[in-house]
Amino acid sequence: MIDRKAAIAAYKGRKPAPGIFAVRCVKSGDTWVGKAPDLATIANRIWFTLKNGSHTNRDLQAVCNANGVEALEFEPLEAIPDEDHAATRERQLKEQLAFWQNKLGARLL
């Protein structure tokens, strides 16, 4: 069994991996793209808010309510190298978000 304190320390010590992701509804064909400061944790946040009916994107919440959360798929699209400067990282995230939105014909999350 893993020591709980060691597991917590390892989690807190990991570097976040910012990037771009997509959420797709396999039943309706709708796609949303978003940016996240950490791709490893954003999916849990999205599923939690959708299951509780409290997601801030009303369109995504409506599709989830109509088709069920099991009809949605999460896909990491691109990891952005973690730069030393937050402004550079944020600019890259915005540029890549626009790229993926246009490429997939997706709505913003």
pLDDT at 3 over 80: yes
Q: What are the tens digits of pLDDT across the range 34-91?
A: 999 999 999 999 999 999 999 999 999 999 999 999 999 999 999 998 766 778 889 9
Amino acid identity for residue 40 in this structure: A
- Torsion 27-50-87-39 (CA) sign: negative
Structure tokens at 26: 């396999």
Taking 3-state DSSP, the helix, strand and coil percentages for the chain, each rounded to the nearest 5, stand at: 50, 20, 30
Domain locations in the chain?
15-108
Spell out the CATH class of 15-108: alpha beta
